[in-house]
Amino acid sequence: RRIQSDLSGLVPEVAHNLRMVDEMLEGVMVEAGNVTGATVSVMVADSEARRILEEASEIAAQRMSNQFPELPEILSEGEQQESKVHRASNH
């Protein structure tokens, strides 16, 4: 994003295209995480690249929490059985 803001004054079209790429990549990452339930681990050697990726991850997590409600945790099979037994004993 820092590069995007630096370029926006110099080359508005490039900044716009970078913003579009950023939004598309963010959408792909969110969709991939929703489908697979997996997180993406990226190896970076440069500390600046690592900082940028960490910042992007924080922004994506914040946007996700703002746009989507918290989902309940999925109970394991054993926990589901315990819950059924508990509910049955309360009736």
Taking only the tens place, the pLDDT of each residue in 40-61 is 565 666 777 778 888 888 888 8
Q: Residue 39's pLDDT is what? A: 58
Task: Give the total number of structural domains in the chain.
Answer: 1
What's the predicted TM-score (pTM) here?
Answer: 0.33
* Residues in contact with 15: Cβ distance below 8 Å, sequence separation at least 6, in sequence order: 4, 5, 7, 8
User: What is the Cα gyration radius of the chain?
Assistant: 21
40 neighbors 26 (Cβ within 8 angstroms): no
Q: Of 69, 60, 62, which is closest to residue 26 (Cα–Cα)?
A: 60
Residue ranges of the chain with per-residue pLDDT less than 70: 1-12, 14-15, 31-45, 71-91
Identify the DSSP state of 86.
H
- In the chain, the amino acid numbered 6 is D
Residue ranges making up the domain that contains 83? 2-90
Q: 57-60 contacts: CB < 8 A, separation 24 or more?
A: 59/1, 60/26, 60/29, 60/30
